[in-house]
Amino acid sequence: MASSMITFIILGLWTTIVVLSSASTIIGTKLSLELEAQALLESGWWSSYNNLISNRCNWPGISCNNDGSITDIYPPPNIVKVGVKFGKMNFSSFPNLVHLNLNDHGLNGSIPPEIVTLSKLKNLYLNWNYLTGELPSLENLSQLAELDFSHNEISGSISQELGNLKSLVLLRLSWNNLTRSIPSALGFLSNLTHLEMRSNQFYNYIPPEIGELKNLITLDLSNNKLVGLIPSTLGKLTNLTTLNLSNNKLVGSIPSTLRRLTMLTSLDISNNMPVGSISSTLSQLIFLETLNLSNNILKGPIPQKIGNLRALYSLDVSKNKLNGPIPFQIGYLRKLISLDLSKNQLNGSIPSQIGYLRRLISFNLSHNFISGEIPLPLRNLSHLDNWDLSYNKLSGIAPIFLTSFPDIHKNYIGHNCYKIYSKSLVGNKDLSPYTCSLITRRKRILNHLKIFLPLTVFPAFLIYGHLLFSRSNLKSNNGMQESKTGNLFSILNYDGRITYEDIIKVIEDFNTRYCIGIGGHGSVYKAELPSGKTVALKKLHRLNAEDPNFDKSFMNEIKFLSEVCHRNIVKLHGFCVHQRSMFLIYEYMERGSLRSVLTKDVEAIELDWSKRVDLIHGIAHALSYLHNDCSLPIVHRDLSSHNILINSNLEAFVADFGAARMLDLDSSNQTILAGTYGYVAPELANTTTITKKCDVYSFGVLALEVLMGRHPQELLSLFPSNSLLQNIMLNDILDPRLSPPTSHLDTQKIVLVATIAFACLPMEPKSRPTMKQVSHEFLCCQRSLAKPLGEISLLQLVASEMDVEKELCN
Ligand SMILES: *[C@@H]1O[C@H](CO)[C@@H](O)[C@H](O)[C@H]1NC(C)=O
Ligand SMILES: *[C@@H]1O[C@H](CO)[C@@H](O)[C@H](O)[C@H]1NC(C)=O
Ligand SMILES: *[C@@H]1O[C@H](CO)[C@@H](O)[C@H](O)[C@H]1NC(C)=O
Ligand SMILES: *[C@@H]1O[C@H](CO)[C@@H](O)[C@H](O)[C@H]1NC(C)=O
Ligand SMILES: *[C@@H]1O[C@H](CO)[C@@H](O)[C@H](O)[C@H]1NC(C)=O
Ligand SMILES: *[C@@H]1O[C@H](CO)[C@@H](O)[C@H](O)[C@H]1NC(C)=O
Ligand SMILES: *[C@@H]1O[C@H](CO)[C@@H](O)[C@H](O)[C@H]1NC(C)=O
Ligand SMILES: *[C@@H]1O[C@H](CO)[C@@H](O)[C@H](O)[C@H]1NC(C)=O
Ligand SMILES: *[C@@H]1O[C@H](CO)[C@@H](O)[C@H](O)[C@H]1NC(C)=O
Ligand SMILES: *[C@@H]1O[C@H](CO)[C@@H](O)[C@H](O)[C@H]1NC(C)=O
Ligand SMILES: *[C@@H]1O[C@H](CO)[C@@H](O)[C@H](O)[C@H]1NC(C)=O
Ligand SMILES: *[C@@H]1O[C@H](CO)[C@@H](O)[C@H](O)[C@H]1NC(C)=O
C-alpha cells in the first residue's frame, strides 16, 4: 500500500515535470518569435512594412518555417535596400535562419560577429558590397554549404578553421584584400565544387592539398601573388571544367598531370613564369574552349596535336619564346574566334589552312619570324575585325583580297591596282605594298603586269603521324630483295638490273644536289643509273608512328599501283624501305611539272595551243582510266598542275595518283587536306567523302589553267556570277603569251576544252560530268564554230548555249 502511494506520488511528479517542460518550450518559441519580430523592427530594413509585423513571413525577402520562425532573409535590393542599416540588425535573434542573402545591398563596415551564432545557416551571400575588416571565425557554422563574400574589401587572412566547414560546396572570396597563405586545411572540404579566390593578395605556395578536392568544378586562384610550382596534384581534380591560375608568379613547368583534367573547358595559366614547352599531352583536353598560356616563358614548338582541341574558340599563346612553324593542324580548330600567336619566335610560313578558320574575329601573328607569302585562303576570314601580321618576314605581292580587310588604307593607282597601307602589315620589309586585281578584259594589261598569283600548296602531311614502317613486320614477297644492309627493296616493273646500293651511290645518299623538287608527299631526286637510264626517286617523309597494319596494306597498294599502266600516267617502277627513308622509284620526266613549265615564259610559249589541247586530252584519258579501268577504281584526290609531269616531247603524265590513298589508309577523315588549295572541290569544305567527282572538279581547274597559262583563282571567285562572266570573252582569258589560235581546228578544240572545263566546275558534284564522259567527248566529238573566239563570252560557255553544233557520236 505504502509503496503504491509512493509510486503514485512519483508518477504525479513526473507528469508535472513533463507538462512544465513542454510549456517552457512553447513559451520559449513564443519568446523567440517575438525576438525575431523585434529584431526586424529595430533593424529598420522593412520600415515601410512595420505596422504589419504580424504578417512578417509574407514580407518581401522573408520566409518562415511552419512554426512561423524565420528561415530565409533575402531582401530584394530594388524593394528593400539595407545599406548603412546593416549594423542595426541583431543577427543573434534568428536561431532557425538557413539562408541569408544580402548581395548588392551597399553594406559597409565589418561583418557583424553575431553571424557566427547562426548555427543552422546553409547559404551566406554578402557579395558585391563594401564590407571591410577581417573575416569572423566561422568555425561553428557547420551546416554552411555556400559562402560568397566576393567583391568586398575584406582584409586579413583565412584561418585553418575554415577547413572545419565540411559541408561547403561553394566558397567565393574573389575580389577582396585577403592576404597570406591559402590554408592547406581547405583540402578537407571534400564536397567543394567551386573555389574562387581571384584578385586578392594571397602569396606563398598553392597548397598541394587542393588536389584532394575531388569534386571541384571551378578553381580560380588568378590575380594573386602566388609563387612556387603549379602543384602536380591538380591533376587529380578530374571534374574540373575551369582552371585559372593566371596573373601570379608561378614557376616550374606546366605539370603533365594536367592532361588528366579531361573535362576542362577553360585553362588559363597566362602571366606567370612557367618555363618548358607546351606538352602535346594537353591535346587530350578535348573539351577546351579557351586556352591562354600567354606571357610566360614557354619554349619549343606549338605541338601539332593542338589540332585535337576542336572545341577551342580562343587560343592565346602570345608573348612566349615559342619557335618552329605554326602547325597547319591549327586549321582543324574550326570554332576559333580568337587566335593570338604574337610575340614569339615562330618561323616558317602562314599555313594556308588558317583559311579554314572562318569564324576568326581576331588574329594576331605579329612579332614573329613568319616568312613566305600571305596565303590566298586567308581571304575566307570574312569576320576578321582585328588582325595583325606586322613585324614578320612576310614577302611577295600583297593579295588583292586584303583590300577588303578592316584597317586597310588603299590608294587606287590605275590598272586595277592599289597601293595599300596598314598597321597590320608594317615591319615586313619584303612584302610589296602594291596589289592588283587580275580580272581584266584587256590582255594588254595582263601582259604589262605579268603578275602571277602566288599559290600555296598544302604541305605533304599525310605521312606524318600515322605510319611507321617497321621492318620486322615485312614478309619477303616475290620480286622483293633484301639488300646487304638489310633494306627492303623491290623493283617491280623494271627490266634493268639495279640494286638499292646503286641508287644510293648515284645520288650520294640523297645529296640535295640531286634534289629536283618537292613533290606531293616528299622530295624528288634525279638518279642517273649506271645503265644510262634516268629515274626519279620520291623520298617520302620519315615515318614516325606505328601502325602494324600499315606494312601489309602499303605493300598491297604499291603492288596495285605498279600494275597501273597508261600512256599518260607516270610509271611506278618500284620502291625501297630503309630504316631512315622510304622511297618510290618512278619514270623520270625531263620537263618537270606542268606548273613549272607554265611559269617559265620560254617553255610556256613552246607549249603551243595544239600541244596544250593534247595535253588536256591526255590528262582526261588518264583520269578516266584511273576511275574506270583499273581493277579497283582509283581517285587521284590531289590533281593539280604540280603533279602533272611533262616529258621532253611536252606530253603530260599524271603523277602521284593514289599516293594519298596509299599513305592515308586509315584516315579517310583527313582527306580534305590531301588536295592542293585552289583545286579542291567545294563540297570538301563540309564533307569528307572523296569521290571521283572531286577529281572532275580539279580537272576543270587544271584545264582552265592550261588555257590561261596561270591558275584561274580570280575567275573561280567570280563563278558562277553570270553578270561578271558575261563581260569576259574567252579570248581575254587565254594565255597572253601565245598569239591567238590561227587554225580553225585549234580554235574549235579550245572552245570544247573550255566548255568542258566549265562543265566540270559546278558546286554540286552531281552536275559535273564523269571523267569517262569527258574523255569520250574529247575522243569523238567534232564541233563547228559559228562565232569567232572574241565573241564567245564565258557566260555562254558556262551555260553551254554557244552556237556550236555538236555532232552526235556514233
Ligand atoms: C540581440 O538579441 C539577443 C537575443 O536574441 C539578445 O540577448 C541581445 O541582447 C540582443 N542584442 C542587442 C544589441 O539588442
Ligand atoms: C557606412 O557608410 C556611411 C555612409 O557612407 C558612413 O556614414 C558610415 O560611417 C559607414 N559605416 C561604417 C561602419 O564604415
Ligand atoms: C563555437 O562553439 C563552441 C561551443 O559552443 C564555443 O565554445 C566557441 O566559442 C564557438 N566559437 C565561436 C567562434 O563562436
Ligand atoms: C557531402 O556530399 C554528400 C553527397 O551530397 C553528402 O551525402 C554528405 O553529407 C556531404 N558531406 C558533408 C560533410 O556535408
Ligand atoms: C589591401 O591590403 C594592403 C596590405 O595588405 C593595403 O596596403 C591596401 O591598402 C589594401 N587595399 C584596400 C583596398 O583595402
Ligand atoms: C564528378 O562528377 C560526376 C558527375 O557529375 C559525379 O558523379 C562524381 O561524383 C564527381 N566527382 C568525382 C570525384 O568524380
Ligand atoms: C582568369 O583570370 C584572369 C584574372 O583574374 C581574368 O582576366 C581572365 O579572364 C580569366 N580567364 C578566363 C579564361 O576566364
Ligand atoms: C590571356 O591572358 C592575358 C594575360 O592574363 C590577357 O591579357 C589576354 O587578354 C588573355 N587572352 C585572351 C584571348 O583572353
Ligand atoms: C598583336 O599583338 C601585339 C603583341 O602581342 C600587340 O602589340 C598588338 O597590339 C596586337 N595587335 C592587335 C591588332 O591587337
Ligand atoms: C625555324 O627555326 C628553327 C630554329 O628555331 C630552325 O631550326 C628552322 O630551320 C627554322 N625554319 C625555317 C623555315 O626558317
Ligand atoms: C571518321 O569520322 C566519323 C565520325 O566523326 C567516324 O565515325 C569514323 O569512324 C571516322 N573514320 C575514320 C577512318 O577515322
Ligand atoms: C556545304 O555548306 C554550304 C553552306 O553551309 C551548303 O550550301 C552546301 O550545300 C553544303 N554542301 C554540301 C555538299 O553539303
Which ligand is located closest to the Cα atom of residue 142? Answer: 4
Q: Which helix (H) or strand (E) holds 16?
A: helix 2-43
Which ligand is located closest to the Cα atom of residue 118? Answer: 3
- Asked whether the predicted pLDDT for residue 657 surpasses 80, the reply is no
With 0.95 as the threshold, say if the pTM is over it: no
Q: Is the CB of 687 under 6 A from ligand 12?
A: yes
Q: Is the CB of 110 under 6 A from ligand 2?
A: no
Grid cell at residue 113:
560577429
pLDDT category, 480, cuts 50, 70, 90?
very low
Model pLDDT for residues 265-306, shown as the tens digit of each residue: 999 999 999 889 999 999 999 999 999 999 999 999 999 999
- Asked whether the predicted pLDDT for residue 774 surpasses 80, the reply is yes
* 809 backbone dihedrals φ, ψ, rounded to 5°: -85, 155
- Asked whether the predicted pLDDT for residue 628 surpasses 50, the reply is yes
Question: What is the amino acid identity at position 374?
Answer: I
The predicted pLDDT at position 719 comes to 72
Find, among 426, 475, 754, the residue nearest to 613 by Cα.
754
Euclidean distance between CA atoms 246 and 706, whole angstroms? 55
Grid cell at residue 711:
591558275
pLDDT category, 338, cuts 50, 70, 90?
very high
From 189, 191, 239, the mutation candidate for ligand 4 (largest count of ligand atoms within 8 A of CB) is: 191
Which ligand is located closest to the Cα atom of residue 368? Answer: 9
Q: Give the residue extent of every domain in the chain.
A: 283-440, 488-543+550-587, 593-799
Ligand 7 centroid to Cα of residue 56, in Å, is 43
Cα 577 to chain center, whole Å?
34
Q: What are the pocket residues of ligand 11 if the criterion is a CB atom closer than 6 Å to any ligand atom?
A: 666, 668-669
Question: What is the amino acid identity at position 335?
Answer: K
Contact 246, 274 (CB under 8 A): no
Euclidean distance between CA atoms 647 and 570, whole angstroms? 10
Euclidean distance between CA atoms 287 and 119, whole angstroms? 41
Q: What are the pocket residues of ligand 9 if the criterion is a CB atom closer than 6 Å to any ligand atom?
A: 318-319, 342-343, 364, 366-367, 386, 388
The predicted pLDDT at position 454 comes to 24
Q: What are the pocket residues of ligand 6 if the criterion is a CB atom closer than 6 Å to any ligand atom?
A: 214-215, 238-239
Contact 80, 35 (CB under 8 A): no
Give the residue, by CA position, lying nearest to ligand 11 atom 11.
Answer: 669
The predicted pLDDT at position 94 comes to 95
The predicted pLDDT at position 705 comes to 95
Mean pLDDT to the nearest integer, 558-586? 76
Model pLDDT for residues 3-39, shown as the tens digit of each residue: 555 544 444 444 444 444 555 566 667 788 999 999 9
617 burial via Cβ count (<10 Å: 0-12, 13-18, 19+): buried
- Asked whether the predicted pLDDT for residue 760 surpasses 80, the reply is yes
Grid cell at residue 238:
578530374
Ligand 7 centroid to Cα of residue 279, in Å, is 22
Span 283-440: which CATH code?
Answer: 3.80.10.10
Ligand 9 centroid to Cα of residue 364, in Å, is 6
Which ligand is located closest to the Cα atom of residue 270? Answer: 8
The predicted pLDDT at position 523 comes to 75
Nearest atom of ligand 3 to the alpha carbon of 140: 1
Question: What is the amino acid identity at position 579?
Answer: Q
Give the residue, by CA position, lying nearest to ligand 9 atom 11.
Answer: 388
Q: What region, left, alpha or beta, does residue 114 occupy, with left being phi > 0 and alpha being psi -120 to 50 degrees?
A: alpha
Nearest atom of ligand 3 to the alpha carbon of 139: 13
The predicted pLDDT at position 329 comes to 93
More confident residue, 187 or 794: 187
- Asked whether the predicted pLDDT for residue 808 surpasses 50, the reply is no
CA-CA-CA-CA dihedral for 201, 203, 208, 209, to nearest 10: -50
Grid cell at residue 782:
567534232
Q: Is the CB of 108 under 6 A from ligand 2?
A: yes
Ligand 3 centroid to Cα of residue 130, in Å, is 27
pLDDT category, 465, cuts 50, 70, 90?
very low
> Active-site residues: which are they?
638
Tell me the angle at which helices 692-708 and 609-628 cross, rounded to the nearest 10 degrees. Answer: 170
Euclidean distance between CA atoms 7 and 707, whole angstroms? 123
Nearest atom of ligand 2 to the alpha carbon of 132: 14
Q: Is the CB of 198 under 6 A from ligand 7?
A: yes
The mean predicted confidence, pLDDT, of the chain is 81
Question: What is the amino acid identity at position 98?
Answer: V
Q: How far apart are the first and last CA of the chain?
A: 136
Tell me the angle at which helices 744-759 and 771-780 cross, rounded to the nearest 10 degrees. Answer: 170
Consult the annotation and say whether 539 binds a ligand: no
Contact 459, 422 (CB under 8 A): no
* DSSP output for 725-779: HHT-BHHHHS-TTSPPP-SHHHHHHHHHHHHHHHHT--SSGGGSPPHHHHHHHHH
600 burial via Cβ count (<10 Å: 0-12, 13-18, 19+): middle
Looking at domain 593-799, its CATH superfamily turns out to be: Transferase(Phosphotransferase) domain 1 (1.10.510.10)
CATH class given for the domain over 488-543+550-587: alpha beta
Euclidean distance between CA atoms 655 and 219, whole angstroms? 55
From 388, 390, 392, 422, the mutation candidate for ligand 9 (largest count of ligand atoms within 8 A of CB) is: 388
CA-CA-CA-CA dihedral for 87, 89, 91, 94, to nearest 10: -170
Give the residue, by CA position, lying nearest to ligand 4 atom 10.
Answer: 167
- Highest averaged pLDDT of the listed ranges 305-309, 684-688, 793-797: 305-309
Mean pLDDT to the nearest integer, 723-740? 83
By percentage, how much of the chain surpasses pLDDT 90? 51
Q: Among the listed ranges 9-13, 363-367, 477-481, which one has the minimum average pLDDT value?
A: 477-481
Grid cell at residue 611:
600541244
- Asked whether the predicted pLDDT for residue 127 surpasses 80, the reply is yes
Nearest atom of ligand 10 to the alpha carbon of 347: 1
Give the residue, by CA position, lying nearest to ligand 5 atom 10.
Answer: 177
Question: What is the amino acid identity at position 801?
Answer: E
Euclidean distance between CA atoms 594 and 538, whole angstroms? 17
Nearest atom of ligand 3 to the alpha carbon of 137: 13
Ligand 12 centroid to Cα of residue 765, in Å, is 11
Euclidean distance between CA atoms 110 and 149, whole angstroms? 12
Ligand 2 centroid to Cα of residue 545, in Å, is 69
Mean pLDDT to the nearest integer, 667-679? 52
Grid cell at residue 810:
556514233
Largest Cα span, the chain:
147
Contact 587, 562 (CB under 8 A): no
